Amino acid sequence: MATPLEEQGIRLDKWLWAARFYKTRAIAREMVDGGKVHYNGQRSKPSKLVEIGAEIRLRQGNDERTIIVNALSIQRRGANEAQQLYQETPESVIKRENISQSRKLNALTMPHPDRRPDKKERRNLIKFKYGDDE
């Protein structure tokens, strides 16, 4: 027998907030509206009703995750309980680890300077970048 929550469903933005992917429902709604969240392979609205077994692909900064919905929840709970609401696909985990590793290797090849350039160095950088058109 289905629970009342499963019969009624829950909004996508509310589920993303309850599963702790985004800090507020407003941010979750913006991400869905902005096309950062795909429900079963398609862009959707924040009011889309989430079903158990649905595939959600979401982007958070440089990371892209593909998850399967295991349970529904209206309330935002602790991180351990929130992780029980979904399961990340193995392909998504491997892809995220590969991208993370390549970012780390890229950071080693492009070291950052020890300090910010001062005013004179900034002017010289601007002249070098845009040319001396005076």
Distance between start and end Cα atoms, the chain: 78
What pLDDT digit, counting tens, does each position of 30-66 carry? 999 999 999 999 999 999 999 999 999 999 888 899 9
- Look up the CATH number of domain 1-98: 3.10.290.10
Domain spans in the chain, listed from the N-terminal domain onward:
1-98
Write out the two tokens for 47: 């009011």
User: Could you give the CA distance from residue 14 to residue 5 in angstroms, rounded to a whole number?
Assistant: 13
User: Could you give the CA distance from residue 17 to residue 59 in angstroms, rounded to a whole number?
Assistant: 14
Tell me the chain's radius of gyration from C-alpha atoms.
21
Q: Is 43 helix (H, G, I), strand (E, B) or coil?
A: strand
Q: What are residue 5's DSSP bridge partners? A: none
Q: Picking from 4-13, 43-52, 100-109, 110-119, which range would have the lowest pLDDT averaged per residue?
A: 4-13
